[in-house]
Amino acid sequence: MGRGLNFCSMATKEELLTDVLRLPPEERAEVAHKLLLSLEEGAEDPGAQAEWSAELERRAREVLDGSVKTVSWEQVEARISARLDQRR
């Protein structure tokens, strides 16, 4: 982070929060992102990777055997744009 805030180990969470809230929005976002990532560390389901791999394999087989219809990026982009336009 740009300003190089120097937090000593004696700072309270309130002092840390006060200092972080003084940062520009981009730097606050970086701090928030890193804090959120730290909460996710070790929280991953051990079987999740195997389940995702199986799901990806299943989907790839469906595309290759023709049991699902694929959609071009242009079609997807047009649908998303239309939905966003409806919300405006």
DSSP output for 41-80: TT-S-TTHHHHHHHHHHHHHHHHHHTSS----HHHHHHHH
Q: What is the domain partition of the chain in residue ranges?
A: 1-43, 48-87
pLDDT band, residue 3 (cuts 50/70/90): low
Q: What would the pLDDT profile of 27-64 be if each residue is shown by its tens digit?
A: 999 999 999 888 877 667 778 888 989 999 999 999 99
To the nearest 5 percent, what fractions of the chain are helix, strand and coil? 65, 0, 35
Could you tell me if 39 and 30 are in contact, meaning their C-beta atoms sit under 8 angstroms apart? Answer: no
What per-residue confidence (pLDDT) applies to 46? 76
Residue 65: is its pLDDT beyond 60?
yes
Task: Label residue 20 exposed, middle or buried (CB < 10 Å: 0-12, 13-18, 19+).
Answer: middle
pLDDT tier for residue 8 given thresholds of 50, 70 and 90: low
